[in-house]
Amino acid sequence: MPEKDPKLHDILRDDVRTLTGIGQPAESEPMPVDAAIRAVAPRPVPSIVLSVAAKDAKEVSRLLAKIPEQLDDRVARYPVKIELRFDAIPDFSGRLTAASLVFRLGVPLILTLRARREGGHSTATEPDRQRFFLSVVGALRKAPPPGSLIDVEAQAVAADPEGWGQVLQQAHERGFHVLLSHHDLEVTPEKAQALLPSPNLLDQTPGGGALLWKSATTVRTWSQDLAILRALARGNAGSRRAAIMGMETATSRLLAPFFGAPLVYAAIDRDHVVARGQIPFADMVRVWARWGIDVEDAALAATDGTPAPRWTLLGRPAYHSLSPAMHNGAARAAGRAERYFPLEVPEHTGTGSALEVFRQTLDTLPELGVRGGNATIPFKVPLAATADRLVGDAEALGAANTFLLDGDQLVAHNTDPHGVRAALEEAGAELADARVLVVGAGGAAAGAVHALRDSAGVSVTNRTTEHAQEIRDRVHGDVTVIPWQDRAAAAREATLLVQTTPLGMTGGPAPDESPLPADALREGQTLLETVYIPTMTPLMKQAEAHGVRVVGGTAMLLHQGAESFRIWTGEDPPLAAMRRDRKSVV
Ligand code: NAP
Label each residue of 371-436 as H, E or C: EEEEECCCCHHHHHHHCCEECCHHHHHCCCCEEEEECCEEEEECCHHHHHHHHHHHCCCCCCCCEE
Q: Find out whether the peptide bond into 534 is cis, omega within 30 degrees of 0.
A: yes
Mean pLDDT of the chain: 91
Q: How confident is the model at residue 584 (pLDDT cuts 50, 70, 90)?
A: low
As a whole number of angstroms, the distance between CA 454 and CA 445 comes to 15
- Mutation choice for ligand 1 from 438, 463, 498, 506, CB with most ligand atoms inside 8 A: 463
- Does the C-beta of 464 come closer than 6 Å to ligand 1? yes
Q: In what order do the strands lie in the sheet with 549-551?
A: 479-482, 457-461, 435-439, 496-499, 526-529, 549-551
- Please state the atom number of ligand 1 nearest to the C-alpha of residue 505: 32
pLDDT beyond 70 at 65: yes
As a whole number of angstroms, the distance between CA 446 and CA 393 comes to 10
Q: What is the pLDDT of residue 457?
A: 95
Lowest mean pLDDT among 25-34, 162-171, 360-369, 443-452: 25-34
Element (H, E) at 312: strand 310-315
**Per mean pLDDT, which of 14-23, 105-114, 512-521 is the most reliable?**
512-521
Lowest mean pLDDT among 7-16, 74-83, 96-105, 212-221: 7-16
User: Looking at per-residue confidence, does 33 or 387 come out higher?
Assistant: 387
Alpha-carbon Rg for the chain, nearest whole angstrom, is: 28
pLDDT beyond 80 at 406: yes
Inter-CA distances, 14 with 10, 244, 541, Å: 7, 32, 47
Each residue of 298-322: pLDDT tens digit?
999 877 889 999 999 999 999 999 9
Element (H, E) at 329: helix 323-333
Q: Are strands 370-375 and 402-406 parallel, antiparallel or unpaired?
A: antiparallel
- Does the C-beta of 334 come closer than 6 Å to ligand 1? no
Average pLDDT over residues 550-562: 97
Q: What is the pLDDT of residue 5?
A: 39
Q: How confident is the model at residue 25 (pLDDT cuts 50, 70, 90)?
A: very low
**Residues annotated as catalytic (active site), given as ranges:** 380
User: Looking at per-residue confidence, does 526 or 145 come out higher?
Assistant: 526
Average pLDDT over residues 378-396: 95
CA of 89 to the centre of ligand 1 (A): 53
pLDDT beyond 60 at 59: yes
CA of 218 to the centre of ligand 1 (A): 36
- Does the C-beta of 502 come closer than 6 Å to ligand 1? yes
Helix, strand, or coil (residue 549) = strand
Lowest mean pLDDT among 97-106, 116-125, 446-455, 576-585: 576-585
CA of 264 to the centre of ligand 1 (A): 37
What percent of the chain shows pLDDT beyond 70? 93
- Please state the atom number of ligand 1 nearest to the C-alpha of residue 419: 40
Q: Are 475 and 450 in contact (CB under 8 A)?
A: yes
Q: Are 324 and 337 in contact (CB under 8 A)?
A: no
Helix, strand, or coil (residue 274) = coil
User: Looking at per-residue confidence, does 16 or 126 come out higher?
Assistant: 126
Each residue of 110-122: pLDDT tens digit?
999 999 999 999 9
- Does the C-beta of 500 come closer than 6 Å to ligand 1? yes
CA of 501 to the centre of ligand 1 (A): 4
Residues whose CB falls within 8 Å of the CB of residue 387, separated by 6 or more in sequence, listed in order:
394, 400, 403, 410, 411, 412
As a whole number of angstroms, the distance between CA 423 and CA 552 comes to 9
